[in-house]
């Protein structure tokens, strides 16, 4: 039997690249996301390599998450690795200018969605036991504040702390937990954040070398493939051309 990975947000970015990376190593894939046509295209692409099961899913809907997990075919059980990738940032403006709806969307997706999927899949991961992995996609924003991060950064700080606390509870079960925190990466992230502003996305990545989706997929696969006795608690990955800046000071 091949190992099985369950990836949320598999229709683009890190999730899509991870599906391809795990398939290249012979893992069976459970791919979820909101855009059925993209899931079907990815299934068509990879089904010649490995078994692929797809499920349209909005992780914010806890009932839908439970249903998808309950209906997983026997051939895709138990899950060995969960990649909690589904998430988003919105409204990169000062907090005082942001609609409450955008804050709620980030909380519901980045926090409640991650919790929904983790809770639903814990029994399967526990059945796998030794060598099972939960890889939560955090962000450097969960550690390092910056203007316009407001609820996004706070939600990724939750991902970090949830990962740490989950590790404590899972001690002795063999299930590993990692917070993988990327820096600037050139994906659809900024397009989503700016609600389709291609010029803003282009400007962010112009003239530098950001991380790619494949860079992060390689890290995800590496973590999941480590010997069973190794747990990486947190990985923070920046491109070489990104670093911290000085403190902001308000002056007269």
Give the active site residues. Answer: 152
238 vs 166: CA distance, rounded Å: 25
Q: How far apart are CA 136 and CA 240, in angstroms?
A: 23
Phi-psi region of 71 (alpha: psi -120 to 50; beta: other; left: phi over 0): alpha
DSSP character at residue 141: G
DSSP state of 9: S
Cα 252 to the center of its chain, rounded Å: 42
Beta strands in the chain (DSSP E): 4-7, 28-33, 52-56, 81-84, 133-137, 176-182, 234-237
């Amino acid at each position: 039997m091949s190992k099985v990975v369950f990836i949320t947000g598999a229709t683009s970015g890190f999730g899509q690249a991870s599906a391809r990376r795990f398939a290249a190593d012979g893992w069976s894939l459970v791919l979820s996301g909101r855009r059925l046509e993209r899931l079907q295209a990815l299934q068509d692409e990879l089904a010649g390599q490995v078994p692929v099961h797809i499920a349209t899913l909005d992780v914010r809907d806890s009932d839908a998450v439970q249903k998808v997990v309950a209906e997983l075919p026997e051939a895709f059980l138990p899950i060995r690795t969960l990649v909690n990738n589904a998430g988003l940032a919105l409204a990169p403006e000062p907090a005082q200018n942001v609609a409450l709806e955008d804050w709620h969307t980030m909380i519901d997706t980045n926090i409640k969605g991650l919790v929904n999927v983790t809770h639903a899949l814990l029994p399967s991961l526990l059945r796998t036991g030794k060598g099972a992995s939960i890889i939560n996609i955090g962000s450097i924003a969960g550690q390092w504040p910056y203007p316009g991060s407001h609820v996004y950064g706070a939600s990724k700080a939750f991902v970090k702390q949830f990962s740490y606390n989950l590790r404590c509870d899972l001690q002795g079960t063999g299930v590993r937990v990692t917070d993988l925190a990327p820096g600037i990466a050139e994906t659809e992230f900024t397009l989503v954040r700016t609600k389709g502003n291609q010029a803003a996305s282009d400007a962010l990545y112009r003239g530098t070398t950001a991380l790619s989706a494949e860079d992060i997929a390689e890290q995800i696969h590496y973590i999941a493939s480590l010997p069973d006795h190794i747990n990486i608690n947190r990985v923070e990955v920046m491109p070489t051309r990104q670093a911290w800046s000085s403190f902001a000071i308000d002056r007269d």
